Amino acid sequence: MKTASQAIAREAAIARTRERAAVDPRWSLLIVGLLAVLAVLAIPVQQAAALPIVSATTLPMGLALRDAFVPAAAGAAESDSTESEPCSPEKDHDDGDCSACWQGGVGVVFTSQTAFTVPEGETEERDLYLFTQNLHIFGTVDGDIFVWTREARVDGNVTGDLNIGAETVRITGEIEDDLRVGCKDLYIDGTVGGHVLAGCANIYIGEDAVIEGDLVLGCGVTNIDGEVRGSAAVATGVFSMDGTIAGNAEIRTDGGVNLGPDAHIGGDLRYEGPYEVDIAPGTVAGSVRYTRMSPDEDIEGLKEGLSSLSVVWHFLGFLAAIIAGTIIVALTKKHAITTAEIIRTKPLKSLGIGFIAYICIPIVLLILLVMIITIPLMLVVFLAYLIALYVAKFYVAIWLGNLILRRGGRTDVSPIPSFLLGILLIYLVTWIPVVGTLIGIVVIFFGLGALLQRKETGLDAAFEAPPQPAAPGALPSAFPGSAPPSVPPAPPHTGVTPPEKTPGA
């Protein structure tokens, strides 16, 4: 009999252990979703790291597929290869002029070591997507160019658009379509057949430059000595002009406008700056309107813009919290209720643990980063830390919503209505300047501390007080294998008071 009871107790203990170790499918779904988000966020890093490998492995494959399925292109490639010098392993590729390596119709070229050059007299009939240190175009590119480089020079002809991010860009040739540039220094001494959109520190449009379309600039220093046959919209620190703008000109500057003796604007001039300038008769064919810009107005406008942006950002954060929190609470109701209950029963303990974790976890992350070999572990811990900081307020919201709804007389409250009410109150309070920020940090402390006290983390035992040792000589309340002491049932209450015993009876 005793052996059978022990076996039953052992089986029950094993069943409880398996139940405790079982993974809730909803947690699996949540973990898979978080891993998917991590994979999406890691895509740019993977692309940047694998750029040379991808280019080295996929370009030959693309050429082989082209030769297999497009016979005409293969024949053209063979005819081109007979005219040019074949590529060999002994040939020096550092000069970037090995045309046999990059000709043949493949429109994507990745290189991070050498220059990409289109020699004079040659025509490249394709769109180019480049990542290189230097770009030199002396011939013709019959297509668009998208390039990220250190230095770019265009002395030849580009029949399409030129889209470029670089440190220095020099245009002395011809771009038949639009030019879009983000750089430090831009020099234009050639022809642009379309519009020019540029954001640079310094822009110099030389005397020989001709821009057929409109000019839109945002820069520090602007010098226009060439011809703009469209209109111009410029926001700059210092504006100097001794050239021609055929259309209207709108200029905003905080360093003043300087119009030279050969400057001419064929339309209207609207400019805004710290002071009004004297404009010679005949310089502007249309009307001139000046608006004074004071530094105080700029500061006030910046403050208003930041205030509006803060309101929009807070509202979008509130909507995101409602959506994310509702999904998480719906998938993990039991977990959410238990965590909110920890906040209710152990508020000070949750606050203290959350405060310590908020400070110590970044220090641990820094140590893992310095050790280099533990960087992958640091990334995982950092992601988990960010997720915990974000979801911490959800459980505080459930506790706060339960507190309010139970005060109103409701006892069987679902966690989702409690969460919605609590998260609304949290975002309303955190909207208050300064004080709201402090309250938001305290909310994170409560939620983070409650999360770390969950049994699933394995850290709950670290926050519990150790058991007190028994007094010397004391007997245990129960022995291993023995049944718990039975308590005799209380006699039924009949409503009759038993008679009192008299002394000596």
Instruction: Tell me, rounded to whole angstroms, the distance of Cα 330 from its chain centroid.
Output: 27
Per-residue pLDDT for 410 more than 60?
Answer: yes
Q: Which residues contact 320 (CB under 8 A, 6 or more apart)?
A: none
Mean pLDDT, the chain, whole residue set: 76
- Provide the pLDDT for residue 434: 87
d(CA 223, CA 238): 9
Instruction: Tell me, rounded to whole angstroms, the distance of Cα 319 from its chain centroid.
Output: 18
- Provide the pLDDT for residue 197: 94
H or E element that contains 115: strand 115-118
d(CA 476, CA 470): 8
Q: Tell me, what amino acid is at 373?
A: I
Structure tokens at 477: 């309340």
Residue 345 pLDDT level (bands cut at 50, 70, 90): very high
d(CA 109, CA 63): 13
d(CA 413, CA 405): 7
Per-residue pLDDT for 127 more than 70?
Answer: yes
User: Which of 124, 137, 207, 236 has the alpha carbon at shortest distance from 179?
Assistant: 137
Per-residue pLDDT for 499 more than 70?
Answer: no
What mean pLDDT do residues 398-405 have? 90
Per-residue pLDDT for 202 more than 70?
Answer: yes
- Provide the pLDDT for residue 133: 86
- Provide the pLDDT for residue 95: 42
Residues of the chain above pLDDT 90, percent: 44
| Greater pLDDT, 113 or 410 | 410
| Greater pLDDT, 445 or 307 | 445
Angle at which helix 333-345 crosses helix 375-407, to 10 degrees, equals: 70
Per-residue pLDDT for 357 more than 50?
Answer: yes
Per-residue pLDDT for 505 more than 50?
Answer: no
Q: What are phi and psi of 52, to 5 degrees?
A: -65, -35
| Greater pLDDT, 195 or 126 | 195
Residue 64 pLDDT level (bands cut at 50, 70, 90): very low
d(CA 97, CA 332): 61
* All structural domains of the chain with their residue ranges: 40-85+95-177, 303-459
Mean pLDDT lowest among 71-80, 298-307, 389-398: 71-80
- Provide the pLDDT for residue 308: 76
Q: Convert the pLDDT of each residue in 434-492 to its tens digit.
A: 899 999 999 999 999 999 988 776 665 555 666 666 555 554 555 445 455 555 555 55
Angle at which helix 333-345 crosses helix 415-430, to 10 degrees, equals: 60
Beta bridge partners of 180: 163, 197
- Provide the pLDDT for residue 255: 79
- Provide the pLDDT for residue 76: 38
Looking only at the bridges linking them, the beta strands covering 244-245 and 264-265 are parallel
What mean pLDDT do residues 83-87 have? 40
Q: Convert the pLDDT of each residue in 227-281 to its tens digit.
A: 999 999 999 988 999 999 999 999 998 877 889 899 999 999 999 888 888 888 8
What mean pLDDT do residues 282-304 have? 75
Per-residue pLDDT for 101 more than 70?
Answer: no
Beta bridge partners of 148: 131, 165
What mean pLDDT do residues 385-404 have? 93
Mean pLDDT lowest among 99-113, 127-141, 166-180, 384-398: 99-113
Q: Where are the alpha helices (DSSP H) in 218-346?
A: 295-331, 333-345
Q: Which residues contact 113 (CB under 8 A, 6 or more apart)?
A: 94, 133
